[in-house]
Amino acid sequence: MENKKIAITSDHGGYVLKEKLLKMLKDENIEVRDMGCNSEESVDYPDFGHPLANAVADGGVDFGISICGTGNGINMTVNKHPGIRAALCWNEEISRLARAHNDANICSLPGWFLNESEAYLIIRTFLNTGFEGGRHLRRINKIPVKMY
């Protein structure tokens, strides 16, 4: 995870987990940008997902972490952006495969369904797994919608 710029965001459903992950990442001297939200007060996940996706797509950060209650809403939001390949990860193996086979650049987490140690293992695996390329690259190149 060294030398990787990471951004993290959540809605109210992911706020508590986001704060715990932020502390864990910072304790390891990992550069992480907190893109909100800033409390458990109800907010709309697209208001936080879109800026995160922009930061990853523009190259301002290498990877993103997005969290909402189920992980689904914020994952759907960030995946609307060209160049974003976000994966909803609920265990370590899904996280590893999201990077190795799909070159995912945002890890979306279901904040209501993971404890902090499970979530941190998922994030560590995501950030430390490389993309295998090869046949997977061919498939990834087919993801963007082409207008004919």
SS (H, E, C) 84-102: CCEEECCCHHHHHHHHHCC
> What is the residue whose two structure tokens read 């940008």?
33
Evaluated on CA atoms 107, 111, 7, 74, the torsion sign reads: positive
**Taking phi first (over 0 means left), then psi (-120 to 50 degrees means alpha), and beta for anything else, what does residue 36 get?**
left
Cα–Cα distance, 148 to 141 (Å, whole number): 16
Which residue reads 């390891």 in tokens? Answer: 28
Task: Give the side-chain half-sphere CA count within 13 A for 16.
Answer: 10
Q: Which positions are catalytic?
A: 68, 101
